[in-house]
Homo-oligomer: A and B are copies of this chain.
Amino acid sequence: MVTKNEGLIHLGTLAKQAAAQLATASSEAKNHALLAMAAALEKGSDKILAANALDMAAEREKGQPAAILDRLLLTQDRIADMADGLRSLAALEDPIGKVDKMWYGAQHIQIGKMRVPLGVVGVIYEARPNVTSDVAGICLKTGNAVILRGSASAIHSNQVIVALLETATVMAGLPEGCIQLLTDTSRETAAQFMRMNEYIDVLIPRGGAGLIRSVVEGATVPVIETGTGNCHIFVDESADLAMAEAIVLNAKCQRPGVCNAMETLLVHKAVAAKFLPQIGAAFKQKGVEIRGDMETCRYIVEAKKATEEDYATEFLDLILAVKTVSSLEEAIAHINRYGTGHSEAIITQNYQNSRIFQQQVDAAAVYVNASTRFTDGFQFGFGAEIGISTQKLHARGPMGLEEMTTCKYIVMGEGQIRANVNR
């Protein structure tokens, strides 16, 4: 696992040293640094905007679409939001050092399970430069050193943001190396970065499906997958159809480009004749393109015929796949086959069906009678979010502060030695 990139080794060594000190920093010291970081962003906003203008100009020249440009853009308001995010982190409870439980084991050794930082966290992400301060703040709050690897398109913005944050933390008395940016954005360096097991404890990719896949394929450092959401809502036979309409419109249209938006609507055949024309008209008004099965096309004239591929696609757009099903079981089977284990919902008034759906659907968040759009650290009440895990290891669903920790068993004895060799 040796890499020859000296820049990476330097970053890694510094991060590891910083992590060792940061792990035992007091909550007061970390909160003080977070407030200093917030102030530094506001004070340095002109520098950030100037750097962001360079990034924007380069991307405009490449002819990037408006949506991409908007994600890259920083404004005074957006910088103020970044600073507010850091301040609200300072106000949250510190999970580090909490002993979740303590008990006596064999021969009366006393064992405590204590929350401690993960150590060094690597984050690989795309475009949006506000992620830089969000992630840096969450890592600092939880005592983790972070190495950020943003995209080439945001390099100027990220360099200025990280320089401001880094200086603020050091001025606030924390060690150098708590927050670092990998400025070499080449693929080769990224590939080496993902294999630095000696220096990095966990890698979190944040971005599109392609980015996630390349990290999962290329990394030897443990990865937490985030984000891909092919989410479904099933409108059951017994659903309150007015409630169903409000929920599916919200889940599809409120913010179609995010991972907890609905991508496929499943409708029980018993209510298709009533619900589909109603919802078809509502979606038409919102500019949503419908791709449905035969039954759907019967009731929604504008609908195109859906392909197998459509049911497997995370559109992230105003496109919706629709399918009618004959039973709850068929809906669950469809979801467990095509879903990505993110957020799934049933709209029903039937008690037993609500139980079966929540038991049998295999996903991070399984809803009854609410929009899938609630799968989010802030909506769940975690106060912060570093991403939404779609894997089962370590963290599943919205990842708040607690998900950025691991445990350490502290064991207190009075000279106990182990007596038995076997169990």
Q: Mark A residues whose CB is within 8 Å of B.
A: 1, 20, 23-24, 81, 85, 103-107, 109, 111, 116, 118-119, 197, 201-202, 216-217, 220, 222-224, 240, 243, 246-247, 249-251, 254-255, 336, 358-360, 362-371, 373-375, 378-381, 391-394, 396-397, 406-418, 421-423
- Cβ–Cβ < 8 Å partners of A363 in chain B: 408
| Identical copies in the complex | 2
Pick from B118, B364, B411: contact of A368, CB under 8 Å: B411
With known contacts A369-B412, A370-B416, A373-B417, A392–B106 Cβ distance under 8 A: no
Question: CA A322 – CA B105 in complex, angstroms?
Answer: 29
Pick from B20, B220, B364, B417: contact of A408, CB under 8 Å: B364
B393 touches A118 (CB 8 A): yes
A371 touches B417 (CB 8 A): yes
With known contacts A392-B201, A415-B246, A421–B255 Cβ distance under 8 A: yes
Indicate the member of A202, A359, A413 with the most B CB atoms within 10 Å. A413
B365 touches A254 (CB 8 A): no
B392 touches A409 (CB 8 A): no
* A102 → B minimal CB distance (Å): 12
Pick from B119, B201, B379, B418: contact of A418, CB under 8 Å: B379
A409 touches B394 (CB 8 A): no
Give the residue name and chain of the B residue nearest to A243 (CB).
B415
Give the residue name and chain of the B residue nearest to A354 (CB).
B412
Q: What are 6 sample pairs from A and B whose C-beta atoms fall under 8 A apart?
A: A105-B381, A106-B378, A109-B374, A367-B411, A370-B413, A397-B408
- Cβ–Cβ < 8 Å partners of A407 in chain B: 396-397
* A355 → B minimal CB distance (Å): 10
Question: CA A106 – CA B379 in complex, angstroms?
Answer: 5
- Cβ–Cβ < 8 Å partners of A379 in chain B: 105-106, 109, 418
Pick from B23, B366, B371: contact of A410, CB under 8 Å: B366
* A405 → B minimal CB distance (Å): 9
B359 touches A24 (CB 8 A): yes
* A399 → B minimal CB distance (Å): 12
Give the residue name and chain of the B residue nearest to A379 (CB).
B106
Report, nearest first, the 8 A-B pairs whose CB atoms are least far apart. A370-B413, A250-B417, A373-B418, A394-B394, A392-B406, A243-B415, A106-B379, A222-B393
A106 touches B370 (CB 8 A): no
Question: CA A373 – CA B417 in complex, angstroms?
Answer: 8
A393 touches B417 (CB 8 A): no
Indicate the member of A111, A247, A358, A412 with the most B CB atoms within 10 Å. A111
With known contacts A20-B336, A24-B360, A378-B106, A396–B416 Cβ distance under 8 A: no
Question: CA A104 – CA B370 in complex, angstroms?
Answer: 13
* A396 → B minimal CB distance (Å): 5
With known contacts A223-B222, A412-B369, A413-B369, A421–B254 Cβ distance under 8 A: yes
A364 touches B411 (CB 8 A): no
* A404 → B minimal CB distance (Å): 11
Question: CA A403 – CA B109 in complex, angstroms?
Answer: 21
A111 touches B380 (CB 8 A): yes
Give the residue name and chain of the B residue nearest to A385 (CB).
B423
* A267 → B minimal CB distance (Å): 17
A369 touches B415 (CB 8 A): yes
Question: CA A201 – CA B389 in complex, angstroms?
Answer: 13
Indicate the member of A222, A379, A392, A412 with the most B CB atoms within 10 Å. A392
A222 touches B391 (CB 8 A): yes
Give 12 new A-B contacts, CB below 8 A, not counting A105-B379, A368-B413, A394-B394: A20-B336, A105-B381, A202-B392, A243-B415, A250-B418, A364-B408, A365-B410, A366-B409, A367-B412, A371-B418, A396-B406, A396-B408
